[in-house]
Each structure stands twice: as C-alpha cells, then as structure tokens.
Chain A
Amino acid sequence: MNTAEGFAEGHRIDAAGARMGMWIFLFTEVLFFGGLFLIYTVYRVRYGAAFLQGGRLMDTAHGIANTVILLTGSLTIALSLALLRKGKRGLSLLAQGLTVLLGVFFLAGKYVEYSAHIGHGLYPASPVLLGMDKGKILFMGLYYVMTGVHALHVLIGVAVISWTILLTARQKITPRDTIKLENTGLYWHFVDVIWIYLLPLFYLIT
C-alpha cells in the first residue's frame, strides 16, 4: 500500500486506485446489463419456441461480421497500450485510430441492420409486430433494447478513445503514465464481452 505517496501528492491518486475505480465501475455495468439478461431469461423460458423463430428474423452473417469487427477492435486497443509502453507513440496512435474506425464501422453496420428491420415493419409497437405472437414481440423488443444499449456503449467508447488519441498526441498519456488508456481499454473489452453474449442470444439461436 503506498497510501503515504497518495497523500503526499494531495488530490492525485495512484494508478492502482484509478484501475480499481474502473473495475468497480465495470461491476456496475455488469449489473446494468444483468437486468436486461434477466428479462431475456424470463421471457426465453416462457416463450422458448417464439424466441427460436425470432432468431430467424436476424441476419447471422451480419452478426458474425459485427463480432469480427469488435474483436479486432479489442486487439488494436490492446496493441496501442503495448506499443505505447514500448515508447512507440506513433504506432500507438495508429492503433487507437484503427479502434475508433472499427467502432464507427460497427455502428454503421447497426444502422444498416436496424434500417432493414424497420423496412420490414419490425419495430416496437408496429402493426406488423403487434400482429405476431407475444413471444416475438418481446424478442424484437429485447433485440432493440439490448443491442441498442450496447451500441450506445460503443458510441461512448468511440468518443472516449478519440479523447485518449488527443491526450496521447499531447503527451498527457505517456509510456510512464498509461492509466487513462489502460482504463479505456478495459471498458472497450467489457463492451466486447457483452457483445459475445448478445451474438448467440439473438443471432445463433435459430
């Protein structure tokens, strides 16, 4: 424990403290999505057959493409940290930039996907959807809310990584003080892990 050190620096906190704060924040995120997964579980049990049919409304290829994009993003953000620690700031910036780009690709893909569903009249409380059985209404509702909340997290991630790019360029994030980039990476990996669970629940259950 280097509490004395933390004290001497006044309001500044050590990297271990910042990392701990991030992990606690991620616990809250797990519980936040946990509420949604709980709702999914309840209705999946109640309307199992309808959920399986609902899965056929999804484009599996699209889901797989989303997954590849996000996981590559996880790779690039991890690389950016490793590169920065080795003092290769330019390459680290490139890796962070790639991550932002992949995040934007993912969001664009989501836009195309949502548009297609809405084009087929499949959106909450739509006449087409209300004509279907209740399990499918809930399946589509869960699809929009869960992937929507996830996409919101991707959007926030893109914004935060753009900010770390700025900080790295201005040498506010340095090889000796990487905690902001590290915490951003943690968050980005978390967003990926959530997607890993969303993929089978919506795209692969047919």
Chain B
Amino acid sequence: MADTETRPEAPPSFYQRQGRSGVLLSWLFPTDHKRIGIIYLTAILSFFWVGVVLGLLIRFNLIAPGRFIAERTYNSLFTVHGVIQIFLFIIPGIPASLGNFFLPILLGAKDVAFPRINLLSLWFYLLGGLLIVLSVFIGGGPPDTGWTFYTPYSIRTTANVSLALWGVILLGFSSIFTGLNFLTTMHRLRAPGMTFFRMPLFCWSLYATGWLQVLATPILAITLIILILERFIGIGFFDPLGGGDPLLFEHLFWIYSHPAVYIMILPAMGVVTEIYPVFAQRTIFGYKAIAFSSLAIAFVSYAVWGHHMFTSGMSDTARILFSFITFLVAVPTGVKVFNWIATLYKGAIRFGTPMLFALSFIFLFSIAGMTGLTISTLSLNLYLHGTYFIVAHFHYTMFGGAAFAFFAGLHYWFPKMTGRMYHEKTAQLAWLIMFVGFNVLYFTMFLLGLQGMPRRYFQYLPRFHTNHVISTVGSWILAVGLIMMFGNLIRSIFKGQKAAMNPWGGTTLEWQIPSPPPAENFATLPVIERGPYDYSRKK
C-alpha cells in the first residue's frame, strides 16, 4: 500500500482554525464546507436515533397491541417516525453531510460555490428539525396523518399538523439550496484538468441528485403551503367541500416524493461506487455507464409517481402507463449493479468494514429492486399495495439501500473526517449483527404482506402473531448492531489510532491531503491529469 508513511509537518486541521470570531461563533456560523458537513452529520445522525427509537416502539407495540401503547399514540408514532427518518435523516443524509464535506475536496476546490447559502441551508435544516420536534409537544399533539399528510384527513385532524408542515417546507428549501450549491460548484469550481469525466462518480451521483433537489422539491413546498392554507382559511383545493379533489393532493405530493426516493438513493449509489474500486484495487468498470445511468434514473424518476396511487383511483390508461414507465427504472439501475460486479471481478478484494457495508448494499438493494418490480406490476400491486409488503420493500431500499451505503461511507471516510481509525473488528461484528437483524426484521414483513397483513394497522388477526414477534426480535438485534457501530465510532473519535493520509490506498483527491484536512483543503492547487480510479500506476 502506498502513501501510508507518516507525513512530515502537517498544517493545522480545519477543526483547529477559529478565525476572528472565536470557537463558539465559528461553529454556529461556519462557512467552511467541512464544518457544515460535520454539523449536518451530527444533527442527521441524532435525528436518525430519534427515528430508530420511535421505530422500536412501533415494533414493540406489535408484539402485544394495546398492552403498552394506545391507538392514537401508535398513529403518531409511525407518523413522526416516518417524518423524521424521511425528511430529517435520509433525504438530507448523504448529500448534506458526506457530500458537503467531500464534494469540494473531490473536485480539487476550496469550498462550495456559495458558502453562505450553504450556511443558510444548514440553519433551515436545524430550524425545520426544531419545528418538527416542537410539533410533537405543543398544540393539538403530535401529527397522526402518516408522513404522507394525505387529505382530507390532514385538513380535519386536530393534531398539530401545520407546524410539522412548516418544518418540512423549511427542510425542502434547505435541500434546494444544497442542490443549487452543488450544481454550481461542479460546473464552476473543478480544479484545472478535472473534466466532467474525470470527476469521481460520487460527484456524478450528487450532480443527478442536485437536479432532482432543485426541480422536484419546489412542488412539495407549494403543495404543503396550500395544505397549510387549507387548514387555516379553507381555500378548498384539496377539500371536497370546497369543490377540490383530495386525489390532486396525492398527485402533487408524489410528483415530489417519488423523485425524492432517488434523492435518497442516488448519493448512496455514489458512495458505494467510490468504495468498490478502492477495496478491489481495480479501476471502475464502465465509468460513463455509471455516470449516465445516474442521470437516466433521475430523468425517469419524474414520470413514475403514479405507481404510488394504483389503488387510489386512476384511469386504467394512466395506471398501465405508470406501471410500464416504472419498469424502465430497473434498466439504469441494472446497469449500475452489473458494472459494480464487473468492477469486483478479478479484483484483489479486501473485506474491510466499508466494503462489507457496500457489498451488503448490493444484496439488500437487489432484493429491494426485485420486489419493486413485483409491486410495480399492476395486477400484483392491487393485492399488495395496502400490506406490509410495501413496508418491507421501502425499508429494503431506504434502510438496506441508502442507510447501509451511508454507513459504508461513514466508515470509509471516518479516518479522513476525524483523523482517527475506528476499531476494525468491532465494526465488522457490528455490521454482521446489523445485517442479520435487518433481514430478520424486514424480510419477515414480506411474508406478513403476502399473508395479507395491512400496513399501519394497530391491531391484527392472531394468525399474524408469530411473524410479528419474529420481526420485533429482529428490530432488537438490529438495534444492538447499531449501538455497537455508533459506540465504536464515537469511541474512536477520541481513542482511535491516528489515521494515515491514505489508509485504504485510494486514488481520489481526498486521500492526497492530511487527515483531517486543513481549512483550505489543498496547500497548492491540484492539477488533474488522469481519471479518478487509476490503479494501474500503483502496481
């Protein structure tokens, strides 16, 4: 392995520089993309844990419904669990934390294009999170509509929906600003010689994500603003009493929220694409195919929202078209999976923790993709749509896909972000426990769904009991793995061994600067002369 020798006199890291404003202010109003990334990461993972605890409570209720948790509380539990995990964890997740930290470095830039807009985006995120948390404790009680806020119930409920909606709108603007920043950064701030086709593929995935954030999120913002107006002054757009149509809300909601699924998964695909070449010590197979498939997925994702509404009431023509276009998503996704596997073929694979997470990503995400095809088939969807099959499917995409890739990136870039190594054996064991727990928890839900267990129900028939208990036990196993993983990472921030500049033998730009990076990233302007995954020169 090259580059692992200890470096000579390193410049002070970005953690040490305080500027004129002192320690506190420099962390409250940072414009350094790395600090913003670290604050985002801390906040996002904190909210993740709140979501995890709520999820555990949902599962806990389902081993003995009614024994521990009341009906209305249960409705609020799955609503707030969904709102937090979707809007506060997985949508901002990878782009806002790892993306903010690494995008400028991967491009050879000093910062993003608009550092102050980046700060604004961070504050919108924190404020949005605060409003959502407040909505649980004040007013008419926590939202109980489900994270989708379907009308007309969301107009009529006395729960504190409006405040949570304001929170989500702020999070939307935060996401738009991040996307806008990343797009401009990639267009204007690449280092000399860093052509678009020499960018690491993580950047390409953020590029596709950026367009989705910019072009889909405003639809959600205006839709939720209308919903708030609906609640306060009753304009009637989504309310049958005022002549409106609740179905229109569903359309507008999913016009955003389906592309949002790819805002969640595209950066995840980008992260694992960085990891495979490094841990196989082999150049990426099909660079351009992977780059363009990100754009293709983003493009197709705008035209498939109707598959969320097959049972809501649409014409057969619309349903058949949406079903057909949904199948098309599998093509660029398949392109990615085959290229990843071709990258690993004949590679010298090392099973470090990032690689374990990245490999399990392929496995879990393939299950997610295959079951996705199952439920995009119209005839099967009509039977499965209201069941746990859907719950299992989207947890395989969001948790098994996006979150596992997030954890892969977290371990992969941990040395660079903190300057320390995590404990490898503990991390691997944590991965194994999580992997087992995850499958016990969610694969059981596929079976429950096929047996006909309706989703979101508080109570169920006795014949579902065994599987619910198995699933809940799975949630405990998963929680043990998560605690172990986070415990290891947090301990390693303080007690881990010092990390070298390039512990994995990577070839991209972040491994050519100290760990953690200095405030200006690069001492001298890097000049790029070859593609990002050139391992031939290292042999």
Q: Spell out A's residues near B (CB within 8 Å).
A: 1, 3-4, 6-8, 10-11, 13-14, 16-17, 20-21, 24-25, 27-29, 31-36, 38-39, 42-43, 47, 124-125, 130, 133-135, 137-138, 141-142, 144-145, 149
A3 to B252, CA, bound (A): 39
A134 to B114, CA, bound (A): 46
Contacts of B214 in A (CB 8 A): 24, 27-28
A43 to B184, CA, bound (A): 37
Contacts of B188 in A (CB 8 A): 1, 3, 6, 13-14, 16-17, 20
A142 to B222, CA, bound (A): 13
B303 is an interface residue with CB less than 8 A from chain A: no
Contacts of A29 in B (CB 8 A): 218
- Asked whether B233 lies within 8 Å of A28 as measured between CB atoms, the reply is no
What 6 A-B pairs have minimum CB-CB distances, sorted nearest first? Answer: A134-B243, A125-B234, A32-B218, A141-B235, A17-B188, A35-B222
Contacts of A8 in B (CB 8 A): 525
Contacts of B221 in A (CB 8 A): 32
A73 to B228, CA, bound (A): 32
- Asked whether A42 lies within 8 Å of B113 as measured between CB atoms, the reply is no
Q: How many A-B residue pairs have CB under 8 A?
A: 131
Name the one of B108, B114, B219, B234 contacting A31, with C-beta atoms under 8 angstroms.
B219
Contacts of B368 in A (CB 8 A): none
Name the one of B179, B222, B243 contacting A137, with C-beta atoms under 8 angstroms.
B243
Q: How far is the CB of A3 from chain B (nearest CB, A)?
A: 5
- Asked whether B110 lies within 8 Å of A137 as measured between CB atoms, the reply is no
Q: How far is the CB of B36 from chain A (nearest CB, A)?
A: 13
- B229 to A, closest residue via Cβ: A145
Q: How far is the CB of B180 from chain A (nearest CB, A)?
A: 5
A34 to B219, CA, bound (A): 8
Q: How far is the CB of A26 from chain B (nearest CB, A)?
A: 10
Name the one of B176, B180, B191, B222 contacting A36, with C-beta atoms under 8 angstroms.
B222
- Asked whether A24 lies within 8 Å of B180 as measured between CB atoms, the reply is yes
Q: How far is the CB of B464 from chain A (nearest CB, A)?
A: 40
Name the one of A21, A31, A134 contacting B242, with C-beta atoms under 8 angstroms.
A134
Q: Spell out B's residues near A (CB within 8 Å).
A: 31, 108-111, 113-115, 117, 176, 179-181, 183-184, 187-192, 194, 214-219, 221-223, 225-226, 229, 233-237, 242-245, 248, 252, 255, 520, 525
- B107 to A, closest residue via Cβ: A3
Q: What are 5 sample pairs from A and B whose C-beta atoms fall under 8 A apart? A: A13-B114, A27-B215, A135-B243, A138-B242, A145-B229
- Asked whether A10 lies within 8 Å of B110 as measured between CB atoms, the reply is yes
A116 to B442, CA, bound (A): 59
Q: How far is the CB of A119 from chain B (nearest CB, A)?
A: 17
Name the one of A10, A14, A34, A138 contacting B236, with C-beta atoms under 8 angstroms.
A138
A31 to B512, CA, bound (A): 41
- Asked whether B180 lies within 8 Å of A144 as measured between CB atoms, the reply is no
Contacts of A20 in B (CB 8 A): 183-184, 187-188
- Asked whether B114 lies within 8 Å of A38 as measured between CB atoms, the reply is no
Contacts of B222 in A (CB 8 A): 32-33, 35-36, 149
Output the residue of B31, B117, B184, B242 with the most chain A CB within 10 A.
Answer: B184
Name the one of A47, A124, A134 contacting B235, with C-beta atoms under 8 angstroms.
A124
Q: How far is the CB of A6 from chain B (nearest CB, A)?
A: 5
Contacts of B215 in A (CB 8 A): 27-28, 31
Contacts of B184 in A (CB 8 A): 13, 17, 20-21, 24
Contacts of A149 in B (CB 8 A): 222, 225
Contacts of A35 in B (CB 8 A): 218-219, 222-223, 252, 255
Name the one of B192, B235, B255 contacting A4, with C-beta atoms under 8 angstroms.
B192
A192 to B244, CA, bound (A): 29
Evaluate whether A17 and B113 lie within 8 angstroms (CB atoms) in the complex, with A11-B31, A35-B218 already known.
yes
- A4 to B, closest residue via Cβ: B192
Contacts of B219 in A (CB 8 A): 31-32, 34-35
Contacts of B117 in A (CB 8 A): 21
New contact pairs (19) apart from A27-B214, A145-B235, CB-CB < 8 Å: A3-B188, A10-B110, A16-B188, A17-B184, A21-B117, A21-B180, A21-B184, A24-B179, A24-B183, A24-B214, A28-B218, A29-B218, A31-B219, A35-B223, A36-B222, A43-B237, A43-B243, A130-B242, A137-B236
